[in-house]
Structure 1
Amino acid sequence: MPSQNDDSGTPWGSRPQSPPDIDQILKKAIDRLKGSFGGGNSGKNNNGSVGKLLTIGLLLLIGLSLWSAYYTVPSDSVAVVQRFGMYLKDVPPGLHFKLPLGIDETTIVPVKRQLKQEFGFATPGARDPYQGARDGSRETQMVTGDLNAALVEWVVQYRISDPVKFLFEVREPAETLRYVSESVMREVVGDRTVDEVITIGRQEIEVEALVKMQELSTKYVMGISIDQVQLKNINPPKPVQESFNEVNQAQQSKEKLINEARREYNKVIPLAEGEKDQRIREADGYRIKRINEAEGDALRFNALFAEYQKAPEVTRRRIYIETMQAVMPNIESKVLMDDASSGLLPLLNLDGKKEHQP
C-alpha cells in the first residue's frame, strides 16, 4: 500500500531526524523564485538582493509583532482581553502586553467615566461613543394621560458597571438602553396630564423613570448603572405651540395676580392682627390697673375706718390735714379769711411769697 505524504515529501507517520535548516528553506524559496522568473545566471546574481528583501520582510514582521504586543489602558478605563475571540480577563489601567498578530484582542471600556444619552437634542462634542444614528424628532413625540401631545427632551446619565456584561451579554447595549429609556419615558409620561408633565410633575417623572430604567437594565443584564434622568425642554407640538404659550402666559398672569394679592394680604392682615392684640393687651392692662386701684382704695378706706372708730377726732383732723396738703398746692390764688373778725383781713400774698424772697 503506498504511503501518504505531505507537501514536503515526508510520510505523516514518520518523524524527521533533525529540524529543517533555515538556510535550506531560504535556498529552496530562492530556487522557486528563479524558476518562476526563468532561472539562469542572472538569477544567481540576484540571490543576495532577494535574501535582503526576505530579511527586511522578516524584520518588518517582527517589528509589527512587537508593536502590536503592548497597549496602554487609560486611568478611567479597563481593558477586556479576548484570546481567539474568547473572553480571557480584565486588565486594570497601565501599560500591558498581549500576544501579537491578532491572537489577543483588547477592548477599552471606560468604567469610571460618566456617559450620557440625549433624547430630542444633541450637545456639540458630547455624543455618546456607543450611540448610533437616531431620529431625535420621533423619540420626543409623546402622548400624555389626558390625550394631549407633548415634545419631551431628556438626558440619561449612566456608567458601565460590568464591562464583561456590557460587551458580551447584550448586543448593542447602548442602543438597547436608548430603547429602554424611550419606552420607560413614554410609559411614565402617559400616566400624567400635560400640565403635570410641564409644571409640577417633572421631579416625580425623573425619579420614577430612573427606578424603572435601572430595573430593566438589571433584568436584561446590560452591565449598566444609571445615575440620573433629567428632563429638559417640554413643549407642545408646533401647530398648537402659539396657543399653548398664550394659555401659559394667562396662567402665569393669574399666578402673578394671586401672589400679589397674597402679598398684600400678608402685609395688611398681620398688621391688623398686631394692632388688635395691642389694643386687647392695653385694655387688659387698664382693667387690671383699675381693679388693683379700687381694691387698694377699699383696703385703705377700711384701714382708715378702723382707725376712725378708735379716735374719731384725731382721725378726722388728720384726714382734713392730708386732704388740704393734697389740694392746696393746686390752687393758684389763695385768700385767708377769719370768720371772727369784723373787718377785712390784710392780704397775705402767698403766691408771690417766693418771688419777694431775697
Structure 2
Amino acid sequence: MADFDQQMAYYRYLLEKHGKKVLLGLFLLILALTSIRTVGPEEEGVVLNLGHYSRTVRPGLNFIAPFGIETMYKIPVQRQLKHEFGFRTNDERSSDRYSDGDFSLESSMLSGDLNMADVEWVVQYRIVNSFQYLFRVKDPERSLRDMSESAMRKIVGDRTVNEVLTIGRQEVATQAEVLLQQLCDEYQNGIRIDQVVLQDVNPPAPVKPSFNGVNQAQQERETLINKAESEYNSVIPRARGEARETIQLAEAYALKRINGATGDAARFEALYEEYIKAPDVTKKRIYLETMERLLPKIGNKTIVDEKGNNVLPLLELGNKKTATK
C-alpha cells in the first residue's frame, strides 16, 4: 500500500511539472490538424466559415481557421467523372470487369412504338463551378443520375425500338447529351456534360431471340436489296451501251447504203447522158470496160470465132482447160 501511494505521488509530481507542456503540445497538434489543409493538383478547395461560403482556394498547402470555425470541401474540378447506368464497372483489384448486380430498373425503357429496350449508357462530366455544385443543389450526384435517366427515357420514348437498337444509336446519345446539359444549366449545378455514350442496347432477355431473328431477317433483306441493286447497276448500263452500239452500227450501215445508192444513181445518170449523146460508142465502151473488169477474174481462157470460118479457128491463151464461148 505504501508503494502504491508513492507511485501516485510521483505521477502527480510529473503532472504538475510537465502538464503545461503536454497541454501546450496537444493544443498545437490540434491547431495544426484543424487549420492546415492540402488541396490536390486536380482539385480546388471551398472554404466555409461557420457554415457560410467564405472563399475558394487553389491547389497546394492552405490554412483555414482552426477548431471547426472554418471547414473545407475539396472538389475535383480538373478530373473527368462518370456515371454508369445499367451496369457497374469493378475496380482494378477485382478479377471481373463488371459487377454482377441487377441494374435493370434504371436501364429498362419503353420506346415510342411501345416496345421494351434494355439501354446501358455512360455519362462523362466535369465540375466547372464548385460553388454551384455545393450550394445550388442538395445532392448534385443523385440529381445528375435522376436527370440522366429522365433525359434518356425521353429520347428513347420518341423513337422506335429498331432505331434505338440499330441506326439511331448515335443520334440518341447526342440528343441525350444536349438535353442533359440543358437540365444542368437550368438547375445551375455547376456540371458540364462532356459526353454521353451508349454502352449497349439490347431487347429484354425474354424476347431477345425474337428480336435477333427480326434483325437477321432485316439484314438478309438489305443484303438481297444491295445485291439486286448491284446486278441492276451492272446489267442495265451494259445493255444500254450495247443498244447504243447497235443503233450506231445501224445508222452507219444505213448511211453507207444511202451514200452508195446515191453514188450509183449519180453514176447511172451520168452514163445515161453520155449514152443519149452517142449510143453506139457508149454501148461499145461499156462492153469493153465490162470485159476488162471480168476477164482477169476468170482464169485460163480459150476464145473462138463465132462462125469458125477463119484460118485460125482457135485462139489459145494459156492452157486449154477452160473454154469460153
TM, length-normalised to structure 1: 0.66
Q: Deviations over 1:277-330 (max 9, x none)?
A: 332232233223333333444455556666777887887777666655654554
Are 1:154 and 2:124 counterparts?
no
Aligned partner letter, 2:123: V
Identify if the C-alpha distance between structure 1 residues 318 and 120 changes in structure 2 by more than 3 Å, giving closer, same or farther.
Answer: farther
Are 1:98 and 2:63 counterparts?
yes
How far apart, in 2, do the equivalents of 1:97 and 1:317 lie?
133
**Alignment match, 2:131:** 164
Identify if the C-alpha distance between structure 1 residues 322 and 98 changes in structure 2 by more than 3 Å, giving closer, same or farther.
Answer: farther
Aligned partner letter, 2:315: L
**Alignment match, 1:115:** 81
RMSD: 4.1
Is 1:119–1:153's contact at 8 Å kept on the other side of the alignment? yes
Are 1:222 and 2:189 counterparts?
yes
Identify if the C-alpha distance between structure 1 residues 164 and 54 changes in structure 2 by more than 3 Å, giving closer, same or farther.
Answer: closer
How far apart, in 1, do the equivalents of 2:285 and 2:174 lie?
91
Are 1:53 and 2:25 counterparts?
no
Identify if the C-alpha distance between structure 1 residues 210 and 296 changes in structure 2 by more than 3 Å, giving closer, same or farther.
Answer: farther
Query: Larger deviation: 299-308 or 228-237?
Result: 299-308
How far apart, in 2, do the equivalents of 1:315 and 1:227 lie?
104
Is 2:302–2:316's contact at 8 Å kept on the other side of the alignment? no
Is 2:123–2:197's contact at 8 Å kept on the other side of the alignment? yes
Is 2:125–2:192's contact at 8 Å kept on the other side of the alignment? yes
Q: Give secondary structure in 1 for the equivalent of 2:314.
A: coil
Identify if the C-alpha distance between structure 1 residues 64 and 278 changes in structure 2 by more than 3 Å, giving closer, same or farther.
Answer: same
Offset of residue 107 of structure 1: 1.6
How far apart, in 1, do the equivalents of 2:269 and 2:215 lie?
79
Offset of residue 120 of structure 1: 0.9
Is 1:151–1:235's contact at 8 Å kept on the other side of the alignment? yes
Identify if the C-alpha distance between structure 1 residues 324 and 237 changes in structure 2 by more than 3 Å, giving closer, same or farther.
Answer: same
Is 1:80–1:164's contact at 8 Å kept on the other side of the alignment? no
**Alignment match, 1:145:** 112
Is 2:112–2:160's contact at 8 Å kept on the other side of the alignment? yes
Is 2:275–2:283's contact at 8 Å kept on the other side of the alignment? yes
Identify if the C-alpha distance between structure 1 residues 184 and 309 changes in structure 2 by more than 3 Å, giving closer, same or farther.
Answer: farther
Q: Give secondary structure in 2 for the equivalent of 1:345.
A: strand
2:148 maps to which of 175, 178, 181: 181
The number of equivalent residue pairs is 302
Aligned partner letter, 2:160: T
Is 1:152–1:235's contact at 8 Å kept on the other side of the alignment? yes
Are 1:290 and 2:257 counterparts?
yes
Counterpart mapping for 1:271-290 below 5 A? 271-290=238-257
**Alignment match, 1:79:** 44
2:202 maps to which of 198, 223, 235: 235
Structure 2, gaps ≥5 residues long: 1-6, 93-100
Q: Deviations over 1:192-224 (max 9, x none)?
A: 332333234334433332332222222111222
Offset of residue 344 of structure 1: 0.7
The structure that is strand-richer by fraction is 2
TM, length-normalised to structure 2: 0.71
Sequence identity, in percent?
A: 47
Identify if the C-alpha distance between structure 1 residues 40 and 202 changes in structure 2 by more than 3 Å, giving closer, same or farther.
Answer: closer
Is 2:123–2:193's contact at 8 Å kept on the other side of the alignment? yes
How far apart, in 2, do the equivalents of 1:172 and 1:80 lie?
18
Counterpart mapping for 1:242-321 below 5 A? 242-301=209-268
Are 1:207 and 2:208 counterparts?
no
Identify if the C-alpha distance between structure 1 residues 232 and 42 changes in structure 2 by more than 3 Å, giving closer, same or farther.
Answer: closer
Identify if the C-alpha distance between structure 1 residues 64 and 119 changes in structure 2 by more than 3 Å, giving closer, same or farther.
Answer: closer
Offset of residue 251 of structure 1: 3.6
Is 1:159–1:224's contact at 8 Å kept on the other side of the alignment? yes
